Structure 1
């Protein structure tokens, strides 16, 4: 009897928590992800993993996330249960395969670069397709999601295309889908070679059209071909739609809205529909409006009604809406997580790191001082402009109740004109750092390249810190012993811009000469 009562109490407690989460305001969550009791709260990743696609291969799930101008490009995630994820690789090691505009020498693709893609598995091989708004469509493949991935193949060289997808049919024939957003958001289907390396422009079939229709995913379930996409309407918002056909080439005449816009949840809309290991269906999605935390990730159940995949909680009118909680699809002993801290003991950078644009390889090292990251200074493309200084090392920030970054630097080898430090950046930025003028080092606070001079730095070592919470207000600190921290600079509201949420960065540049360096002992992210 007691066991039965405890079970009821537990169920009531969880229902209360779930109700509380349903009623919360966007971004105001004290709990997220795996709760350790077989349940989870959305978001499952409160960080900028945008333009999600998801597949299952055996007992493993893999997802991709767009990376824009950051290198290496196209982050690949791995999970065993759809809730707990880790980074298992990045598919594009050299962004200059896309364009020289993505190199450190030009830095001319903010808001562009590697946009949304699709991940597929066929004949024991992984295939990645993605688009850029200026250069067109590309593909690469690998035998393992960790790589190595083949050099990029350029499928279509044309501006104004986005959000592609692909499918291999049961007879082995392959098809590619892409949206020409610069021509009225017309979505076309093309015949594709079996190796995924070419598409036939002459085979074009128009399968969808409508303002703002994008986020394409083509899947086959129970004899139906579903083109799942998102649609936007003024004064209504963005929401998930589907068209279906009995033939892959169409016509896709039947159409249905799968979920409400959910403006209060920042429009969950772009993602992948996947069959779980528990034989239930799920939608792994980002939330699409954007704020300082970027387009974060949630997991929603999928219910099939009249052969339509309804996303989220099913309302009486047979349409889906956002749900903030659920049971983890399957219990796993190992709980994967996205790494954030780094002590730089490896000979390679950890997978969470991405450079702002393709880096200048001779200007950083993990080998010259083992256990430290060495960043070597060189001139920015625009003097004293952090956003045009190459080799800024970045990772995504998180929207959690408490965040604390501490970076330990050895600044003893700085030279005249050198600047280095810890920054937050998106379309705007702020930073706490050190500058050397003559024989003297000073502390400085940067906000969009406006400088506030601070105290003189006599120590060889300095610790820099940023703290922020759910409000997205960062506060900077410095220390000479790693224990006692002193605030410096004004509070900085983190921002969204260039289709990205806030990024953390470690920078080093020199306006005067290509000399000097800074050594980083560790990057600690609580």
Structure 2
């Protein structure tokens, strides 16, 4: 590798944005340049690989099902959702089912995607149940049944690695804090069996230890083993680090490769190093300091300096700095975008949808009425916790709320088969602030109801069988609901509400339907239209 390569991949210019300027523009600008973030929504704990001329990324999903989303791109700027690795979260734990709902902020955490032996391999961890893996010949699926690699708690942020000699390795962090250990996290390296499905426990070796060390990735580049990770400095800020060694077991020489400015750049850290061509590299990362949209994704340039991959613009001290815009690394034209709308014409839900927890499958259908999503209402689970009933209501169907200049969601639902005790409509779901807007039926009467953190505002009686519900928000994440009885004229209803971050997740827009009295009643959703600003 050359000793000094100046701006190997991206930008003939750099641009720095303040936090307040973020998202007014984002992604592909249509003129050969792009603006970060490239994904202005909750695509957390990213990893990315290149296979041929295609790029594939994965992102953690916590308690949402299906789990571990898979994305595809041909230019690293424009992305689309192509699959999920985990169809059934109960294969991880019954606590992730609709009748438990006991894993907010937990569930499917960070993982890695790699390509070996003509297959795609995804490994990931949960903080309670340990490590899991699956593989597929096609990243769009089907993915093989989930395999539990290790039943253990207190571990996270794993990555697999396949060495030139055919040896499988596995790296992960033990974050179970020992008070006598000064709250250090231990990063462990294991060998794996040839099928990649079992750890060789006697090979266990701690290769690094520091406060908050996580986000592990392993690479081999020009004879060096590179261990990417992040850690927390003395000010409590997370920054990006790299270790390198000629031996995979170490010892590793350690260098900081990106600076931290919590308020300006929101701490990019989890991510993946990617080679674009023979001389060009970049880094796809999430911003670890979450806001109401969650942890969005940005694409950063990589400059190799003395065999160190410096992420971002190289500062005078040799450490990378965040950049917010530049030239696209690949000039290919693409129609890829993050999917949102659904006309419910297929026998499968579109890829953007994720249920809040594993759904009760006998209570929803795309075939009971052709061209409609039917949601049957059932009682929320009992809980000693008071308030925010939506967090205990199964079969809430969600997708990510984008942070763009203008977002408009409109859903048309048929309510003629609602029953007493039933409440159905649109929701902005978070474990902090959450809001619901729709129709509630009591004593045979259906009325408009807006609920913010379980405080209700009741409106007029609704006699129509069809109603259109709408949600609008902008960069500030302040939402306004409205309704229509003809699909043309919309009337605002309820107070404005601030969308929020909670339990490591950003806000979700979704369709809800539950009945607090009994398992009875249903709605038919005709369509869900979601438009957002594209630049």
Common fold, TM-score beyond 0.5? yes
Shift of 1:498: 0.5
Residues in 2 aligned to 1:236 and 1:499: alpha-carbon distance in whole angstroms: 18
Q: Deviations over 1:398-424 (max 9, x none)?
A: 000111111111011101111101000
Shift of 1:157: 0.9
Shift of 1:129: 0.3
Output aligned runs, 1:65-76, within 5 Å.
Answer: 65-76=59-70
Aligned position for 1:10: none
Shift of 1:235: 2.4
Q: Deviations over 1:258-313 (max 9, x none)?
A: 00012211011110001014741010000001010110000000011111110001
Aligned position for 1:8: none
Q: Is the 8 A contact 1:87 1:351 kept in 2?
A: yes
Aligned position for 2:381: 381
Output aligned runs, 1:44-193, within 5 Å.
Answer: 44-183=38-177, 184-193=184-193
Shift of 1:318: 0.9
Structure 1: runs of 5 or more not aligned: 1-13
Aligned position for 2:400: 396
Q: 1:434 aligns with which of 434, 439, 442?
A: 439
Aligned position for 2:425: 421
Shift of 1:232: 1.2
Aligned position for 1:4: none
Aligned position for 2:180: none
Output aligned runs, 1:112-511, within 5 Å.
Answer: 112-183=106-177, 184-235=184-235, 237-252=237-252, 254-263=253-262, 264-277=264-277, 279-382=279-382, 385-427=389-431, 428-511=433-516
Q: Structure 1 residues 175 and 61, CA, compared in 2 at 3 Å: closer, same or farther?
A: same
Q: Is the 8 A contact 2:290 2:506 kept in 1?
A: yes
Q: Is the 8 A contact 1:236 1:261 kept in 2?
A: no
Q: Deviations over 1:220-274 (max 9, x none)?
A: 111000110011124251110011110112222x100000012211011110001
Residues in 2 aligned to 1:336 and 1:159: alpha-carbon distance in whole angstroms: 38
* TM-score (norm: length of structure 1): 0.95
Shift of 1:126: 0.6
Higher relative contact order (CA 8 A, sep 6+): 2
More off after superposition, 236-245 vs 284-293: 236-245
Q: Structure 1 residues 347 and 200, CA, compared in 2 at 3 Å: closer, same or farther?
A: same
Residues in 2 aligned to 1:347 and 1:133: alpha-carbon distance in whole angstroms: 34
Q: Deviations over 1:149-172 (max 9, x none)?
A: 111111111110000011000000
Indicate the SS of the match to 1:203: strand
> What RMSD over aligned residues (CA atoms) do the two structures have, in Å?
1.3
Residues in 2 aligned to 1:313 and 1:355: alpha-carbon distance in whole angstroms: 39
**Any runs of at least 4 consecutive aligned residues in structure 1 with deviations exceeding 6 A, and if so which?**
none
